[in-house]
């Protein structure tokens, strides 16, 4: 009789479970959220293409009946590697074809989806969660069931980024260019068969040649005609996104509160004020970038400042990197200064940034 610990089948199963755990951990950390996902959202056929850059997501979503009947959106979102949760939303409708019967025209059906990134083992990966129409929080949540695939049904201008992601196409500058390539303007829509018939010119009538040859006199004083100059189409120049430094420099600044400073250090905690909707911010101190890409959530993002390094008057500026799904970008800041608690609600938009002024007291 063999000891239980040496049972070959049990040892094999243990190794298999250990390997599956390692694969799942690798999935989360190798940014394999990037790729093509297919399945259903709210019982509608969906193909979702995601590219992950840091904790931010970009890409496209297709709601379709067939390759010739669909709606195409640009998407935005973020990935939380603490619990492998994925949040994305349909941002702009950028293309559609024969979609009148597919989705209700009155809403154009933009969704906001929340899902868990699951890797149960082997090569299968899933996004399972819930979705709701944007701007309608009172409606019942709809199911999200997507699986990762290597092949895609629809073609995007930046498919090469996904196809070559693991071999160098994950360069940040290249990922940033996705917004410039795919979302500058809608793609030209192919005409329906009925439209195609209407656009075809009527056939020219056939003129019968006369039996007799008729001589036509040639006019020698015919005025010359100068052809009209042809208009040259100017190339479409993609708009380059502003850097956080450019946003800081070009937006107006509104002072929200002044806080006296004493003691050895200041502890600042930043939360999303109200609903967590994907707000992301950058913090500047005395005209210098302190930290960027802070995603506001229910748990705080903490910054500590040494009082000795501060000037007599200091300006801390919150710059909105995006507006989330519910504009404007709002944050709750809690400052702990020498045992005292200060609270400030900051609001930033694409035109203005919020300012907290720290006034240092001499000992």
User: Looking at the structure, do residues 162 and 19 belong to the same domain, yes or no?
Assistant: yes
Instruction: Supply the CATH number for residue 29's domain.
Output: 2.40.128.30
326 belongs to a structural domain:
yes
310 belongs to a structural domain:
yes
User: Looking at the structure, do residues 13 and 116 belong to the same domain, yes or no?
Assistant: yes
pLDDT of residue 179: 52
Pairing mode, strands 301-306 and 265-272 = antiparallel
User: Looking at the structure, do residues 34 and 156 belong to the same domain, yes or no?
Assistant: yes
What CA–CA distance (Å, rounded) separates 263 from 249? 31
pLDDT of residue 34: 86
Place of tokens 């007291």: 361
Number of domains the chain is built from: 2
User: Looking at the structure, do residues 34 and 164 belong to the same domain, yes or no?
Assistant: yes
What CA–CA distance (Å, rounded) separates 49 from 77? 12
156 belongs to a structural domain:
yes
208 belongs to a structural domain:
no
User: Looking at the structure, do residues 177 and 259 belong to the same domain, yes or no?
Assistant: no
193 belongs to a structural domain:
no
What CA–CA distance (Å, rounded) separates 331 from 300? 10
Q: Nearest-CA neighbor of 78 among 40, 47, 45, 51?
A: 51
Place of tokens 């298999």: 16
- Residues forming beta bridges with residue 283, ordered by sequence position: 291, 318
**Do 243 and 173 touch, CB atoms closer than 8 A?**
no
What CA–CA distance (Å, rounded) separates 290 from 284? 5
Q: Residue 261: left (phi > 0), alpha (psi -120 to 50), or beta?
A: beta
114 belongs to a structural domain:
yes
Burial zone of 144 (CB within 10 Å; 0-12 exposed, 13-18 middle, 19+ buried): buried
Instruction: Show pLDDT as tens, one digit a residue, over the chain (363 residues).
Output: 444 445 565 555 565 555 545 444 444 444 578 889 999 998 899 999 998 877 788 889 999 988 888 888 888 888 887 888 899 888 888 888 876 655 554 445 688 899 998 877 657 888 999 998 876 667 788 899 999 998 888 988 667 777 766 544 455 555 555 555 444 444 444 454 444 444 555 555 555 555 555 455 555 555 555 666 666 666 655 567 889 999 999 999 999 999 999 999 999 999 998 788 888 999 999 999 999 999 999 899 999 999 988 999 999 999 999 988 888 999 999 999 999 999 999 999 999 999 999 999 876
User: Looking at the structure, do residues 16 and 155 belong to the same domain, yes or no?
Assistant: yes
pLDDT of residue 133: 83
pLDDT of residue 184: 44
233 belongs to a structural domain:
no
How many alpha carbons lie under 13 Å from residue 23 in its C-beta half-sphere? 14
pLDDT of residue 275: 81
342 belongs to a structural domain:
yes
Instruction: Supply the CATH number for residue 353's domain.
Output: 2.60.40
Q: Which helix (H) or strand (E) holds 181?
A: helix 172-182
Domain boundary among 182, 210, 236: 182
> What phi and psi values does residue 244 have, to the nearest 5 degrees?
-65, -35
User: Looking at the structure, do residues 102 and 173 belong to the same domain, yes or no?
Assistant: yes
- Tell me the residue range of the domain where 152 lies: 8-182
Domain boundary among 156, 182, 208: 182
pTM for the predicted model, two decimal places: 0.46
pLDDT of residue 14: 61
User: Looking at the structure, do residues 34 and 138 belong to the same domain, yes or no?
Assistant: yes
pLDDT of residue 66: 87
């Amino acid at each position: 009789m063999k000891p239980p610990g040496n049972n070959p089948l049990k040892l094999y199963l243990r190794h298999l479970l250990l390997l599956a755990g390692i694969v799942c951990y690798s999935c989360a950390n190798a940014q394999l959220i990037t790729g093509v996902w297919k399945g259903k959202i709210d019982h509608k056929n969906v193909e979702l293409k995601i590219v992950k850059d840091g904790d931010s997501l970009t890409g496209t979503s297709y709601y379709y009946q067939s390759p010739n009947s669909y709606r195409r959106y640009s998407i935005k979102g973020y990935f939380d590697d603490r619990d492998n949760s994925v949040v994305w939303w349909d941002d702009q409708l950028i293309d559609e074809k024969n979609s009148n019967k597919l989705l209700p025209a009155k809403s154009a059906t933009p969704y906001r989806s929340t899902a868990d990134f699951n890797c149960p083992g082997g090569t299968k990966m899933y996004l399972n969660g819930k979705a709701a129409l944007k701007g309608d929080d009172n409606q019942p949540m709809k199911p999200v069931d997507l699986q990762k695939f290597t092949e895609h049904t629809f073609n995007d201008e930046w498919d090469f980024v996904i196809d070559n992601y693991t071999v160098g196409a994950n360069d940040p500058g290249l990922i940033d260019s996705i917004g410039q390539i795919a979302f500058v303007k809608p793609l030209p829509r192919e005409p329906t068969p009925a439209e195609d018939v209407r656009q075809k010119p009527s056939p020219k009538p056939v003129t019968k040649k006369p039996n007799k040859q008729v001589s036509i006199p040639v006019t020698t004083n015919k005025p010359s005609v100068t052809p009209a100059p042809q208009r040259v189409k100017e190339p479409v120049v993609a708009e380059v996104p502003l850097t956080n430094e450019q946003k800081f420099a070009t937006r107006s600044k509104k002072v929200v509160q002044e806080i006296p400073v004493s003691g050895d250090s200041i502890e600042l905690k930043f939360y999303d004020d109200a609903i967590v909707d994907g707000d992301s911010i950058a913090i500047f101190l005395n005209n210098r970038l302190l930290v960027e890409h802070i995603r506001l959530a229910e748990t705080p993002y903490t910054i500590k400042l040494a009082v000795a390094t501060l000037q007599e008057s200091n300006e801390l500026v919150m710059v909105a990197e995006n507006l989330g799904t519910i504009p404007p970008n709002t944050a709750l800041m809690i400052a702990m200064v020498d045992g005292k608690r200060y609270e400030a609600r900051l609001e930033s938009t694409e035109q203005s940034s919020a300012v907290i002024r720290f006034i240092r007291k001499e000992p």
